Amino acid sequence: MNSFDSFDGWVENASPAENFLYQHLRYHRSKESEDAIINRFFKLFIEALNYPDPEVWQVVNRLANAAESDRQFKYTLNRCCYTLINYWYSQPRCHAAIPRLIELFEDLPTDDPGLAASRRIRELVARFTQTDQYEALSRLRQVFGEPDADNAYNAQHHQPVGTLLRHYPFLYDHSLLTKDSDHEQKRSIQNLKQQAEQRLGINLARYNSYRLGHSRKPIENPTRLSDQQLNQALDHYTGKSYEAKSYKEFASWFSTYSRSVKTFREFKEELVNDYLLLPIAAEIPKYRNNQFSRALREWARATLTDFDEQRLNSFTLVELIRQLLIFLLLQNRRRPIFVIFRRLLEDMGYTLTTGLLLRIVLLCSAARPALERCFSVMFNLHETRQRGDVPWLVESLEHTNIALVTNFGGFGFCH
């Protein structure tokens, strides 16, 4: 069974009425064309009139007027969407139906339907478009919509940042899922993420092989960076860097070395000075003791101080790295302002800044979701901005994409 076909069984924790509705959609999705089922969805939820099955209409009406409907209906409607989306994803010829279904919510009727039941359903559907669930669906539409024709030199700067989501699989978990997403939806997005990472990894590996002369067949640059920028990024993230070690080798060396550190306080000092700052200072000497390096040292000394006299363990390592990523990327989780990250990009450049983040997650791969979450916060807050207004964000997403795929994808990049 395809992992995107999530609702072939009884939906856990759903009421009998909800499961009756999901079963109804499951039955018709396999019997009718995509156009027919989209029209059926439109009549049941968007127009909320003239639905051909009275029993189903009564069930939706009952759910819409239940005591908990203000809180619960958005989850039911979201599952109805995924009941169709998951099935269509399993059949490539049906992929175009996914954004078409989601587009139904963009033009809700404003006339009076004349029925109290219809007014109530329309009210709840309108509220749904203000929820996290709908935001995630809207982003999913960008992943399945028609790809744009932009490239490094002909970028559509007027297009919203959100239209680029398909290109950054490391954002999928935190941009396409919500806190209430069930296990099957998480598996679905993970499947989508893995496929996107694989496509990107293969395309980058082929491009790398061609540019190094190992392949004669010309391969187009698969990123939004110029050829020169991409070549520099690939050399930096996959080649030898500090002390003639690759990023992976340096992370492995420091991980082995840190086991001999006696206390967590000592580990924090050596993490900042030897692992994070020295490779930067080798390229830009002022980072041995500039404003950023001093702020980073002060931050580390003030973080998780209750554990300073203990030995380093997996919990303190993951929590330290998680908080470090928030400090570098968001500065404040509740009120992200990106000041430190923007300054690093301007002063150090994209490869060294991204390399700093790469060293962090290579040392503690369990903290990679924290990196992805931070970038998703950044992306989600800017998704309605025009690409040309936030070039720093687009370029940093490109570099992070390359750094993660080349170091975690297992595609065997050659040098």
Q: Is the pLDDT of residue 8 over 50?
A: no
User: What local confidence, expressed as pLDDT, does residue 9 receive?
Assistant: 41
Q: Is the pLDDT of residue 332 over 90?
A: no
DSSP-derived 3-state class of residue 200: helix
Lowest mean pLDDT: which of 95-99, 141-145, 349-353, 383-387?
141-145
Q: Pseudo-torsion of CA 258, 259, 262, 264, nearest 10°?
A: 60
pLDDT digits (tens, 9 = 90+) for 49-76: 999 999 999 999 999 999 999 999 999 9
Question: What number is the average pLDDT over the span 229-258?
Answer: 93
Location of structure tokens 């509740």: 334
Lowest mean pLDDT: which of 170-179, 224-233, 367-376, 404-413?
404-413
Report the alpha-carbon angle 344-327-299, nearest 5: 100
Distance CA 41, CA 29 (A): 11
Name the pLDDT band for 11 (thresholds 50, 70, 90): low
Nearest alpha carbon to residue 124 among 168, 43, 214, 63: 63
Residue-wise DSSP of 359-401: HHHHH-GGGHHHHHHHHHHHHHHHTTSBGGG-HHHHHHHHHHH
Q: Cβ-count burial of 139 within 10 angstroms (0-12 exposed, 13-18 middle, 19+ buried)?
A: buried
pLDDT digits (tens, 9 = 90+) for 275-319: 999 999 999 999 999 999 999 999 999 999 999 999 999 999 999
Name the pLDDT band for 148 (thresholds 50, 70, 90): low
Distance CA 336, CA 338 (A): 6
Domain coordinates in residue numbering, the chain: 16-146, 191-408
pLDDT digits (tens, 9 = 90+) for 18-55: 999 999 999 999 999 999 999 999 999 999 999 999 99
Name the pLDDT band for 333 (thresholds 50, 70, 90): confident
First to last CA, the chain: 39
Question: Exposure pattern of 217-249 as b/e (b: 16+ CB <10 Å)?
Answer: eeeebbbbbeeebbbebbbbbbeebbeeebbbe
What number of other Cβ atoms are within 10 A of residue 30's Cβ? Answer: 9
- Determine what percent of the chain is predicted with pLDDT higher than 70: 94
Name the pLDDT band for 413 (thresholds 50, 70, 90): low
- R_g of the chain, CA atoms, integer Å: 25
User: What local confidence, expressed as pLDDT, does residue 1 receive?
Assistant: 31
